[in-house]
Structure 1
Amino acid sequence: MATESYKDVQRLQCSMAEDLKLINYFEALSNFFMVDFYTYSAYNMLPKAWLESAKQYDDSLLEQFCTSLLPENSVKICRSLMPLSMLCFIALTRKKLALRIKQPCPKHELPISCKDQLKFLKPKKIVELSDMLPCIQKVVSSQNITHVVDIGSGVGHASRFIAKQNPHCMVLRIEAQSNLINKATDIDLNFDKMSKSKNIFSSVCRLTLDDNVVSSFLQLLKDADQANGTSFSSPKSRILLLGLHPCGNLGSYMLRLFKECAICQSAVIVSCCYLLIDSEPNQTGGFPLSNFLKDQEVLNLSSQLKEQACHNAEFYLSRLGSQLNNHDKLTQNWRSIADIFLSKRESASSRSWFKFKKRANGENIVKFINKNLALHKLPELDKDEEELALKLGVVDQWKTWAYYLVYILKLSLGVIGESLILNDRILFLLESRCSSQFEILFNPKESSRNVAIVSSKN
């Protein structure tokens, strides 16, 4: 292994060791839903030193803890307020978040030849494609790519642009949902007569992460070749695997496929939907992939932590920091209390889908809950429930404060969880001697899953 690659592996292993220590230390909190905060006394899961500081300094500590986590905030931390363990947590989380910040550079725009597709795109997708296409073009050119396979292609926006820009490349879209492929085909017909270019094709197939990823993929390519007269399965093919936000195990499938399939020359993958990753420690699981993590004690990330890793931590922490000086605007704890009563009236499995009306100034907890019960056409609180709601939401103000401390901590743990998953994926490739790196493609506040793994075989 080259010296530089060896140093990259060492850096990744050190970073992952840090992540594991934090996740293990806060395991009880990472396995816990915020809706259960009041019923399971989650504040007792916080480090004792943090609780002691909280009781002494209250709101000033909480506001500093939240705002100082974001790397772009040049906040002067009052070290006398915070225990050393809290300062260390802030430093590590800031470092992880800083890696996701896109460095200032000229803003990319979609090619003029593709502007007629804009009417089919949402603003978020325009931002993503504008920043992702230059990266793909660089890989196509430098690696002499002859074929592109867009896995989890959706309605085919990315593959459509690539086919337009690279008429010498054959592009195959693979999507499990036939209705999305049908919609993609309809858009093709309206997009600059794409149907006449003869270099973009589609296949409806659900890919499975198992021991047969290569053989099943090659059979899929052979079937596509037979149906379309293409050459994806040719031994001379140089395939780029493309995944813009493949869900869960699909990202792990692509990495395994890239490593093991000889004709897959390059990969550009922006991971997403970590909560759908199979994290059982077995050979064909979606996590962990690297030998380094497979040798560690704790491998099974909780579903809550994986879900938290999908959240836009920058957005939530920034918004929460701006609200902490004005308690009338803080609603997250009231929503959790309301959720307790909503859950009593509905099945527990449906509670995460509840919609909420915003908290109004001067409104008490009982009115807030009844307003949201009415939104879902459910009966109001009875007298006993009103007393419990008042006790939870009004009487014990310190518990309300502790709620936000736990909430901020769980947002931060999501950042640590994503860091561990991404580092595991790129370490898996480096262990296989594939040239691999992270590339920050999007502004995280515009597209929260913004880190691409870009890899090519030596």
Structure 2
Amino acid sequence: MSSNNKDLKTCLEMSLKVIRMYDWLLDLYVLDFFVDDHWNKLPSTWRHTFEHMDPQLLGDILSKKPSNTMLPLSFLALIKSIEALTIPRERQDININEKKSTNLDTCKHHPRLKNLFLKHVKLKKRHEISLMAGVVVDTAVQTGCNSVIDFGSGLGHLVRVLAYRDDLHAAGIECQAQLTEEARKLDLELEYTAKKHLSSESVSRLKRPLHFNMTLSTHKQLMGLSLPDYMANYGLIGLHPCGDLGPLLLKQFVECENIKFICVVGCCFMKLSCDGVNRGYPMSDFVKRLDSHLSFASREIACHAIEVYCERLCKGNYEDLKIHAYRAALERMLVEHDPKLRHAPVRSIKHSNTMSFEQYCSQATERLNISLPTSTVAWSRGLADLAQWRRVVVVYTLRLALAPLVETVVLLDRVLFVLEQGLSCEIRPVFDPKLSPRNHIIIAKRYC
């Protein structure tokens, strides 16, 4: 994606125009499918086309596979517009200029320590940390900075890699004290293992990361953080900071000369505040002047895993998607029984081909302390709704097709915000979207 201001503005403006045209689709919650008659909100040509279409074929279409199916021109125009405007999601290989070393007396190169940083780390997080660390180190070298602060550091897996393996001064900021204490214990556990294989001189050079507890509510708080003198200049990193935290970090970066770079991966867009002085969206002056509203429903669907979902459709593994129809059918039953039960917090139940609708309803509502309807009419209506499960899958899939466009608007707004301050900024899809759906890293630098 070009970081040219003019190109970004054009993309943002056109993306929002498309979203405005399809707000009605983005805002269709699956659980309200039968209550609000979602199917009949689709254009008649769409209903005619998708009524009997195998969901597998719909998955192929959204995965850009060749198809001989006749599709409505309005739908084709929408898909082509999404493809043209959306930030590419296919993972890009990153070229890290790494110096080769023959010194095996380090955490990074000792053959007995190659799995040192994998312990306690799940597969998805291993993938993210490995690639994120590479980007951070490369950016630190480019900006002449040897210190980093990770916000939302959790158990400290990323700061341990950056400190012990990559020899950066690193600090982790986490709001949960229990996670911070556990991170410190894992640091000591790692050092204990390293001491078994490294020389005492190498051990003495290890950089133990710092860990702080802080709940960040405004970007000004960072200025009061007590850091050692050797961390006077640093880079900010955030691996999937939730909601407004990502925007707060970007605001801190543009305001503070001592922050030399930022590498941040967005997450949980539905938790963004969209009003007030410290709002997380919109951020750029340009987008603020547009009709830029993004509903909660649109920001929530933008956080779903579209590649994994489409792959399931393409492989024909969509039987378990019937659970959406079960939930929507239950919603109608509950609302007709008592309107106050609309959007009641029912239990999430996994689909099973052996589970009847009555069994599902019983398990899903067992914590609500309510009596389910006993009339045969209500249950017959529910079973009739279930027979339309393909329609439910179609509407959800059509909403999901628009999701990357909403994410594009949120992310490019952030990039443009930084560029408006005269700073360097780019966005790159670094993670495998099937493992890590929020896979774009915003990288901004301050050269001096």
Give the TM-score normalised by the residue count of structure 2.
0.84
Measure the CA separation in 2 of the matches of 1:190 and 1:350.
45
Amino acid across the alignment from 1:170: H
Higher relative CO (Cα under 8 Å, sequence separation at least 6) belongs to 2
- Which stretch of the first structure deviates more once superposed, 335-344 or 36-45? 335-344
Question: What SS does the corresponding residue of 1:116 show, helix, strand or coil?
Answer: coil
* In 2: Cα distance, 1:347 partner to 1:173 partner: 43
Match of 2:324 in 1: 332
- The Cα offsets for residues 111-169 of structure 1, whole Å up to 9 and x where unpaired, read as 455622322211111111122221111111111113211111111111111111343x4
> In the alignment, which residue of structure 1 is the partner of 2:213?
204
Q: Following the alignment from structure 1 to structure 2, what is the Cα–Cα distance between the partners of residues 360 and 15?
A: 44
Instruction: Report the counterpart of residue 421 of structure 1 in structure 2.
Output: 410
Change (3 A) 1:392 1:134: same
Report the AA paired with residue 37 of structure 1: F
Equivalents in 2 of 1:405, 1:192: separation in Å?
53
One-letter code aligned to 1:184 = A
**1:334-353 aligned within 5 A:** 334-341=326-333, 351=345
The Cα of 1:67 is off from its aligned counterpart by: 1.9
Structure with bigger helix share is 1
Aligned to 2:62, the other structure's residue is in SS state coil
Aligned length: 423
- Residue 197 of structure 2 is matched in structure 1 by none
Instruction: Show structure 2 runs of 5+ residues with no match.
Output: 97-106, 195-202
1:235-246 → structure 2 map (5 Å cutoff): 237=233, 239-246=234-241
Q: Is 2:322–2:393's contact at 8 Å kept on the other side of the alignment? A: no
Aligned position for 1:101: 90
**Contact map agreement 1:359 1:368 (CA 8 A) in 2:** no
Aligned to 1:183: 182
Q: Which digits, 9 at most, give the CA deviation of each residue in 1:324-359, with x for residues without a partner?
A: 8x87974432232134446869965652x6221423
Instruction: Write the distance in 2 (CA, Å) between the matches of 1:261 and 1:328.
Output: 50
* Distance (Å, rounded) in 2 between the aligned partners of 1:127 and 1:54: 37
Kept after mapping to 1: 8 A contact 2:152/2:241: yes
Q: Name stretches of at least 5 consecutive residues in structure 1 with no aligned partner.
A: none
Q: Secondary structure in 1 aligned to 2:310?
A: helix
| 2:222 pairs with 1:217 | yes
For residues 195-233 of structure 1, give each alpha carbon's deviation from its aligned partner in whole angstroms, at most 9, with x where no partner exists: 964552121111113xxx24x31211xx344xxxx443x
Task: Letter of the 1:29 partner, please give it.
Answer: L
Post-superposition shift, 1:322?
Answer: 3.3
Q: Name the SS for the 2:89 alignment partner.
A: coil
Quick one: distance in 1 between partners of 2:398 and 2:50? 14
Q: What is the percent sequence identity of the aligned residues? A: 25
Q: 1:305 to 1:183 in 2, by over 3 A?
A: same
1:437 maps to which residue? 426
User: Quick one: structure 1 residues 68 and 420, their matched pair in 2 at CA, closer, same or farther if it must change by over 3 Å?
Assistant: same
Query: What code does the residue aligned with 1:204 have?
Result: N
Question: What SS does the aligned partner of 1:419 have?
Answer: helix
In structure 2, C-alpha distance between the alignment counterparts of 1:96 and 1:445, rounded to whole Å: 21
- Where 2:409 maps in the other structure, the secondary structure is helix
Aligned with 2:115: secondary structure?
helix
In structure 1, C-alpha distance between the alignment counterparts of 2:383 and 2:187, rounded to whole Å: 57
1:3-59 deviations in Å (ceiling 9; x for gaps): x98x7222222222232122211212323321011001112322343234445xx32
Deviations 1:242-288 (A, max 9, x none): 101111100000111111111011011111111111112x4421000
Alignment partner, residue 450 of structure 1: 439
Change (3 A) 1:13 1:203: same
Aligned with residue 261 of structure 1, among 256, 277, 280? 256
* CA RMSD, Structure 1 to Structure 2 (Å): 3.2
Q: For each residue in 1:388-437, what CA deviation from the matched residue of structure 2 results, as whole angstroms up to 9, or x when unmatched?
A: 2133223xx4xx44322211111122222111101111111112221111
Map of 1:67 onto structure 2:
60
1:296 aligns with 2:290: yes
Kept in 2, the 8 Å contact 1:149–1:174? The answer is: yes
Q: How does 1:130-145 map to 2 (within 5 A)?
A: 130-145=130-145
Task: Specify whether residues 368 and 182 from structure 1 end up closer, same or farther in structure 2 by C-alpha distance, changes over 3 A only.
Answer: closer
